[in-house]
């Protein structure tokens, strides 16, 4: 399958690094694959790195939020890392605040957040 987002495994944490702008189809594909991998690897946590994205509109934010909820229903946790400052500012103006989604500044801090439990 031509998956555009690599999902790496580090210990019992999965790391998905979004490299380029994703179409809706790619996002749905990523949602499914993350859930499959969480189940397959019994991952305790998932990190989604969005630092390469220079836009996160309400649809993209909604997709990340859905992903986080689905992962949580599987007893695992999802942390979004690397939201760019300009992107964060745009999201705030849009009114998208993702109150139920864990975020961290970067990969290391995301891992630390998952380890802290």
Least distance to another protein, CB of residue 77, Å: 22
Pick one of 73, 95, 116, 117: the residue that binds another protein (CB under 8 A). Answer: 95
Q: Does 8 bind another protein (CB under 8 A)?
A: no
Rounded to whole angstroms, the Cα distance separating 17 from 5 reads: 6
Q: Does 21 bind another protein (CB under 8 A)?
A: yes
Pick one of 31, 35, 90, 102: the residue that binds another protein (CB under 8 A). Answer: 90
Least distance to another protein, CB of residue 21, Å: 5
**Secondary element (H or E) of residue 45:** strand 45-49
Strands 77-81 and 45-49: parallel
Pick one of 12, 42, 69, 89: the residue that binds another protein (CB under 8 A). Answer: 89
Rounded to whole angstroms, the Cα distance separating 91 from 57 reads: 7
Rounded to whole angstroms, the Cα distance separating 56 from 62 reads: 9
Least distance to another protein, CB of residue 4, Å: 13
Residues binding another protein (CB under 8 A): 21, 23-25, 54-59, 61-62, 84-87, 89-90, 93-96
């Amino acid at each position: 399958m031509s998956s555009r987002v690599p999902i790496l495994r580090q210990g019992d944490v999965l790391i998905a690094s979004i490299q380029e702008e994703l179409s809706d189809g790619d996002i749905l594909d990523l949602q499914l694959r993350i859930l499959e991998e969480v189940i397959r690897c019994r991952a305790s946590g998932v990190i989604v790195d969005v630092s390469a994205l220079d836009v996160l509109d309400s649809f993209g934010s909604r997709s990340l939020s859905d992903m986080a909820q689905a992962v949580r229903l599987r007893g695992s946790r999802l942390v979004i890392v690397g939201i760019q400052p300009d992107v964060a500012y745009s999201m705030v103006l849009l009114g998208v605040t993702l109150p139920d989604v864990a975020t961290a500044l970067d990969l290391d801090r995301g891992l630390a957040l998952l380890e802290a439990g």
